Amino acid sequence: MIVKLKRSVNKEDVVALKEHLTSKGFEIHESLGHTYSIFGVVGDTAGFDLRSLYAFPCVDNVIRVQEPFKKVNRKLKSEDTVIDVNGVKIGGDKVVVMGGPCSIESREQLDIIAKAVKESGATILRGGAFKPRTSPYSYQGMGVEGLQLLKEIGNKYGMPVISELMSNEFIPEFCEYVDIIQIGARNMQNFALLKELGKIDKPILLKRGFSNTIEEWLMSAEYIMAGGNDKVILCERGIRTFEPYTRNTLDISTVPIVKKLSHLPVIIDPSHAAGKWDLVESLSLASIAAGADGLIIEVHHEPENAMSDGAQSLKPKKFKELMRKSTIIAEAMNKTV
């Protein structure tokens, strides 16, 4: 880190600052100028609260040089991480497509949608059983029974399955019934949950919180990896901006940025970004062109009657068309769907 001192400083303050930094194990390289002095501070700052240095009256500015994330960092692992989910590869030269309903509603509903997404070429089945709804009066999901149906239908069509976990309480059930655990936008910084996920051996799809920075998102991934679980898939699902036309604003720039900063796979959820089904295709194709490792898309055969997110769900025919076009864009990116 770089510490810039104020123009006029009390010498005793500077001595105290130097002693403090040395006691923390840092090496100090001093650059003393006429108007300003700068300390180049060398050492591992990952666990150090840089802002604490502002408590010294002589400190004007502290600048971080090293990223605060380690295991997630591409500087520590240059090759792309590829996660194998029962033979389906996520990352590398693949574009994985996960499709299915926002909420699992019944065996029949899930069967119809799973059959359609499988026939269109998707390789992972999504379905929510525990739903994070804004209103307590909205449909909350089928719970564990939904997870059991998801596993049953996933097995029937030979597709690994993904579902959202909201609390530590159901980790054993998720380990039993799902192949990828989804952590939703609202729980991205539920650190108690992230710590528990670090202890298990299941791929985790970590969505970006709608008001979180890329660095905060990567630090949440770091929580999981620091605990010992290195199977993390990042998922951008749109962030809150001033634009009301879409439900969220898809931050497509996360793809090249995350690719530069991290070795982890990054996929896009255009459904929750757009909030409208007729925008999903364009956002999906743009995501693949930007270098995303995959998509997670909501599909429903009767979106007008869906228990949640019907407005953003694609009908099977539209999903099939999206898969056809995705294959073409993936090819241009030297990838296969």
Q: Which two tokens stand for residue 181?
A: 């655990």
Please identify the residue of the shown chain whose CB is closest to the bound Mn ion.
102
Residue 70 binds: one of Mn ion, ligand PEP, none (C-beta under 5 to 8 A by kind): none
Contact pick of 100, 309, 330, 337 for Mn ion (by CB under 5 A): 309
Q: Is residue 71 at the binding interface for ligand PEP, with CB under 6 A as the rule?
A: no
Given a contact cutoff of 8 angstroms between Cβ atoms, the answer to whether 153 and 107 are in contact is yes
Say which entry of Mn ion, ligand PEP, none residue 266 contacts (CB below 5 to 8 A, set by partner kind): none
For residue 34, how many other CB atoms are within 10 A of its CB?
A: 6
Give the shortest CB-164-to-ligand PEP separation in angstroms. 6
Closer by beta carbon to ligand PEP, 59 or else 221 = 221
Does 300 engage in binding with ligand PEP (CB under 6 A)?
Answer: no
State the minimum distance, in angstroms, from the CB of residue 107 to ligand PEP: 20
CA angle, residues 294, 300, 302, in degrees to nearest 5: 165
**Chosen residue from 71, 237, 247, 318 binding ligand PEP by CB under 6 A:** 237
How many whole angstroms separate alpha carbon 218 and alpha carbon 68? Answer: 9
Q: Could you give the string, one character per residue 121-140, with x where binding to ligand PEP holds by CB under 6 A and - elsewhere?
A: -------x---x--------
Q: What are phi and psi of 6, to 5 degrees?
A: -70, 165
* Three-class DSSP category at 316: helix
Q: Please state whether beta strands 2-5 and 37-42 pair in parallel, antiparallel, or not at all (unpaired).
A: antiparallel
What's the closest the beta carbon of residue 177 comes to ligand PEP, in angstroms? 17
- Helix (H/G/I), strand (E/B), else coil: 190: coil
- Calculated CA dihedral for residues 169, 223, 200, 183, nearest 10 degrees: 50
19 CB-near residues (< 8 Å, 6+ apart) = none
Shortest distance in whole angstroms from residue 101 CB to ligand PEP: 9
DSSP annotation of 126 reads E
Compute how many other C-beta atoms are within 10 angstroms of the C-beta atom of residue 232: 26
User: Quick check: 94 binds ligand PEP (CB under 6 A)?
Assistant: no
Counting Cβ atoms within 10 Å, is residue 205 exposed (0-12), middle (13-18) or buried (19+)?
Answer: buried
CA distance 158 to 123: 9
- Write the interaction track for ligand PEP spanning residues 184-223; mark x where CB under 6 A is met and - where it is not: xxx--------------------x----------------
Per rule CB under 5 A, is residue 102 in the interface with Mn ion? yes
Strands lying side by side in the sheet with 37-42: 27-32, 37-42, 2-5, 59-63
From the list 118, 272, 300, 318, which residue makes contact with ligand PEP (rule: CB under 6 A)? 272
Helix, strand, coil percentages for the chain (3-state, nearest 5): 40, 20, 40
Minimal CB distance to ligand PEP: which residue? 184
Whether 286 and 103 have beta carbons less than 8 Å apart is answered as no
Q: How far is the CB of 309 from Mn ion (least distance, A)?
A: 4
Q: How many residues bind ligand PEP (CB under 6 A)?
A: 11
Least distance from ligand PEP to the Cβ atom of residue 18, Å:
46
* Contact status: 162 vs ligand PEP (CB under 6 A): no
In the bound complex, what is the minimum distance in angstroms from residue 312's beta carbon to ligand PEP?
9
Residue 184 contact partner, candidates Mn ion, ligand PEP, none, CB within 5 to 8 A by sort of partner: ligand PEP
Q: Can residue 72 be called a binding residue for Mn ion (CB under 5 A)?
A: no
- List interacting residues with Mn ion (CB under 5 A): 102, 309
- List interacting residues with ligand PEP (CB under 6 A): 102, 128, 132, 164, 184-186, 207, 237, 269, 272
